[in-house]
Amino acid sequence: MIQIERVSKRLNEVNRIGFDAETGGLNRFSFTKEEQQAIDLVTQYMQQAGMSVSIDAIGNVIGQMGQGEETIMLGSHIDTVPDGGRFDGLLGVISAIEVAQSLSENQVAFNKVLKVVAFKDEEGTRFGFGLIGSKAMAGLLTEEHLQMTDADGVSIAEAMQSFDLSPARIKEAEIQPIAAYLELHIEQGKVLESAGLPVGIVTGIAGPLWLELTIEGLREHAGATPMDMRQDALTGASEIIVEIEKMMQQHMPAVATVGKLHVEPNGVNVIPGKVVFTIDLRDIDEQLIAKYEQNILQMAQTIADRRQLKLTYRELQRVKPAQADPAIQQCLAAQIEKRDMPAHYLVSGAGHDAMFLAQKAPMGMLFVRSKDGISHNPLEYTSLEDIEIATHILYDTTVALLTK
């Protein structure tokens, strides 16, 4: 059926693009020459698999084979976080192409359309706003979103134009409802490794809420201002951040992370007058996310008032949690159990393109074991043995969906 040597070769070829020899990490950000090189290579693989290839209005790369009234879609992404790992996203694209090529080589007959998609900008590294390609396919990307800018002030719309994509045409990327969407992805956690299993079935994807908080105090001389007379924005922000950690430790498995911090004026001998930081809040329950959001903002306001600081905030992104389709879960379980392995079920705390495709199709995800649970890191690793098992299961499940 599948050829694991071909999967390995293609992973290695794409991962030469954006590779940093000093850190061992990968830097393939959307709307860059590195990403374009990867797109060109993935396009070649799709063509070698016997697929026709097109680029939609937002820049999603779409391979297609077969004919029929129903469409089965497989996919993931090829962009990375800074100094990212070798398997996040890319494995899902390469394994999906392998499924398509194996279907052709094995002369499997089916009367549906199979599409493989490499989604645009899942990670959101450059613009702080991810899942662009899948949002567009779901019809949720707006012209307002395209005005978001990177660190150099370049907007998404401007970046699109530099790669011959038209911001005015983004609505053309929206798709009609399809029969099923299936995504293979590394787990990025330790559940499967702890269970001693190579693969697991995703039951749902936690929805991320991204907030940006700004704390403003008074910029003053570090040596001339007594400790009890300061309006230090950084110590205020620090107290809020610690309280967020304490608060969310009481509400596991929900999580909250402060991953980005900007201090002004950022001088050794100046009391910080302004701090801007982000909060990434996630849970599988949308109502609980709203509750935690309210609790965090109330706590932050209380601390700001006590310290005589000004607090403002804005929402960067709010994504609804997504539930995996029970029928696709059962189909995945059947293929796993055929290999004398137990069907293990787990929730995804990380966001994926699948969460937006769930609004257009019954959605399923197959997770592959991650060594030590490490991801978004050059140390990210999934064994070739696990990849082979997972790709075979993806193939078998796809055949079942195409021929039922």
What's the pLDDT tens digit per position in 364-396? Answer: 999 999 999 999 999 999 999 999 999 999 999
Q: Is 58:140 a contact under the CB 8 Å cutoff?
A: no
Looking at domain 4-206+321-403, its CATH superfamily turns out to be Zn peptidases (3.40.630.10)
Q: Is 258:219 a contact under the CB 8 Å cutoff?
A: no
Cα separation of the two ends of the chain: 19
pLDDT at 271: 98
pLDDT (tens digit per residue) in 73-120: 999 999 999 999 999 999 999 999 999 999 999 999 999 999 999 999
Dihedral over alpha carbons 300, 303, 308, 312 (to 10 degrees) = 0
Mean pLDDT of the chain: 96
Q: What angle do CA 264, 265, 269 make, to 5 degrees?
A: 125
Q: Is the pTM of this model over 0.75?
A: yes
- CA-nearest of 343, 350, 314 to 328 is 343
Where do the CATH 3.40.630.10 domains begin and end in the chain? 4-206+321-403
SS3 call for 247 = helix
| Whole-number percent of the chain with pLDDT over 70 | 100
Which regions of 56-96 does DSSP assign to beta strands (E)? 61-65, 71-77
pLDDT at 1 over 90: no
pLDDT at 309: 98
Residue 363 pLDDT class (50, 70, 90 cuts): very high
The one-letter amino acid code at 342 reads P
Supply 220's token pair: 């003053």
pLDDT at 102: 98
366 phi, psi to nearest 5 deg: -115, 120
**What DSSP letter does each residue of 279-297 carry, written as one string?**
EEEEES-HHHHHHHHHHHH
345-348 and 199-205 strand pairing: parallel
DSSP single-letter state for residue 155: B
- CA-nearest of 23, 90, 39 to 382 is 90
Those residues with Cβ within 8 angstroms of residue 404's Cβ, 6 or more apart along the chain or in another chain: none
Q: Is 65:54 a contact under the CB 8 Å cutoff?
A: no
Q: Does domain 207-318 fall into CATH 3.30.70.360? A: yes
Residue 194, judged by CB atoms within 10 A of its CB (0-12, 13-18, 19+), counts as exposed
Quick one: average pLDDT of 296-304?
98
pLDDT (tens digit per residue) in 310-340: 999 999 888 889 999 999 999 999 999 999 9
SS3 call for 145 = helix
HEC profile of 232-244: CHHHHHHHHHHHH
Structural Rg of the chain based on CA atoms = 23
Q: Is 93:200 a contact under the CB 8 Å cutoff?
A: no
Where do the CATH 3.30.70.360 domains begin and end in the chain? 207-318
Supply 81's token pair: 């976080």
Supply 322's token pair: 């997504």
